[in-house]
Structure 1
């Protein structure tokens, strides 16, 4: 729980029903104690409340009691959230700073800025609210040096101290900032982290792209904060939507930095996964490469597992996860890659510890990827597999398809030739026999 001195005991109540009566809410709150402040902001256009309220008790120690008693309570089938709010002084200072930032945004100068929000696939200009702390000045909000990151999808409870503690391991930090809602003073789920060195910011972006980054159980979206001019250029350079390459599937195998699963990885496994992610990113730079929706690539499996063993193992994992699949045919092909130059005691090529499994349906492949990736229960602690959706090359597939078509045509032609030859042989013999009989009769 946050310390009382930081916010003065003022509470914010969120997720209120829009139709709730103020008297009812006040009486509910007064069951805890006497109120010093009670305010329900109204939306005058819609003629209803805005879904939240501010409250402060006469006795400061009642704030924590109210949180314990009321947080999670259901009012008109809605579960309300009760937590500490910014102090009133802090709220007014923040609001004033927001207005200054808004005025600053509209000035005709080179310090206008825009954040590229790739998650929404548009370019909305973010209002950056300044604090009453001279540590963060307008001149620091210039992004062209490449040291500032824009962080999205933050937990709403994540504060600036949390941001600093998390990102300080990546390099020396100049400042951090959490963007707040001007109506409530609450976090907007986004913020900035400014490093002293651009290479440290680059490192964070790279890790986020290749492995993902997680803070307080939220998967963060991280990108460089850029100027308005750069944002316009980036927008024009974006690839077309729905390009049919299934690129979203390429990230499903990644284990996000900071997640509980990431903490279980050994240094060797982290290195393997980082290398695999890097190779995939490099290959996907080629527009001819796409992600197969039905074919999976398994890495780091035991070298003693055979094709049949792997098939049985994956089948068991899927059946245990979804018993309804037992009546379905799941696989098209299961193939373990071999090393021809390395032979086992029986003289057979040894496994590379890598395999491809092609499924009949995308949903089977999706479930298998989720359940098998980094699994230790079935595959063992030493061989937790890296399971990715396999990459395919349009050019190779076209060549393969053309080759199969030619082989099929050649086979059909050969079969038609044999059939025709054999059929003509019988007919010819019969005709020749009749013709010979007629000729013999005429000669008599």
Structure 2
């Protein structure tokens, strides 16, 4: 029995790792050495462990007597922890542990494996690449015992949707200059169980093939394998050659998984496909067994097919939602055969046909909160069909255009230079077509612009063609039948008329709108580039018109507003028409008959308690009627004017002077008086007085 770790007892309380290592290192090189201490303290518990690098040194230590500071130690072989026994003999896991385990397994579904990975690629590089598609919980790059990378990695996402998005975006793309293969990661226990289940050999059914034949087949296909791989692949191939058809398919799946998961860093990707082709082409003895017809219960009308399921929905959750319609026989969520992930659809069978009908009727509710919902997704429920009918439906299914902008119609009528349709077209017309095509591409960049299905834009029209002629021409091009109807035909004219004409010159293009798309398409295909319409040098350029949805909405709102106003005006007009007309005689009398009295019905209470009718008195006003509001002028509200004084009465405002200047002037005056005196001042003023030019 291999012995490498030793259990050492009878150690003193003061024992340390360093001292224990000194004692045992005399016998040979150590892998690890430590003493077991009390929890939270430095005191030794009296025992420790020593692991030698070589097994011979461990056996030598068991035989010899070893002392620690004069204290004899007891050395025995260390026992491994009994993990397997605990699992086998232990009790069943608690509900909490079971729930944690299920949650962990559920989270592992969103796990990808990246193969053919560059050895230069690190976990940080993978984190940076895959974090664009969602939340990356873990990145793991497995290493060999010598510390080198194995050439593959695992990336764990938060949910399956993000993982699926990353798979489709990064598969067969380059990371760090190397093309990688991205696939769903399969649990290790499932992989091992598949591999264990595969070698069910039936030697007598298929002929054995020697290793030499297999090697020759591989060489013929140019497969040069590494020495490590040869024996493994050949063994797997020989095992597969000796299986029945049914077992062979299972074993091939296991072999494929084994090659991809275990040896992909040694084997290029195209070798795997060649290897699988060799397996499929192996000779079989006798005829393949007949397939047993599978029973189908869909004819009873009790089985339903459910779509738009969440990838995380479990069968138990779906069962709770369906049980309110009736009892169920079974529920099966459709899984992908390789990854075992949900495909987003399921089958369910009720015990009665009425329950299935109730479920389908409930799912057809189109209200906001109606329908059948599970995990926040509205389910699409229909009656299930047999496999044969499903295959027929798949064949009959024709892909229809589902876009709202009708971009496929933008190519209708396109003529490119160098094609057969462009033969004989003038260079000027081809230049126009290229210019219109560029304009169309620029306009279609706006998501509000779409291609109309019924409105045509006709370019390159002669100036002499008017609206009436164009309408007749378009009806003829559409087939000329009674069904063909032109809703609008409008040639665009210049706004400035020339001379005495009412309308300006034609701009050379027009818009024609049909009632049906078929007629518009027929007219386009007849008129476009037709040399017999306006001559070979003036060929019509016809295409479906581009429309702006925002402008059309404004136009529709304006039309509805005008319609509302016209309807309101019509109602008022109808009310006036139905109103009884006044008697003309009565109207004439009113003009000259004067004041008209009305009989008073009010009563007046007398002092004795009796009542009598109120008597009208004589009018208090006499003479002509004077309307004061028209006769007298209205008093104008005038603002009081400011009084303007005469110039000589106006008081001049005193100019504010600076105090420093006044002080300086006073000082100058004082010095003048001291120097010149009063007489000197007069002389100076006389000298300073200037004479005029006209004075002698």
Q: Per chain length, whose mean CA-contact separation is higher, i.e. which structure has more relative contact order (CA < 8 Å, sep 6+)?
A: 1
TM-score by length of 1: 0.41
TM-score by length of 2: 0.27
The structure whose residues are more often strand, as a share, is 1
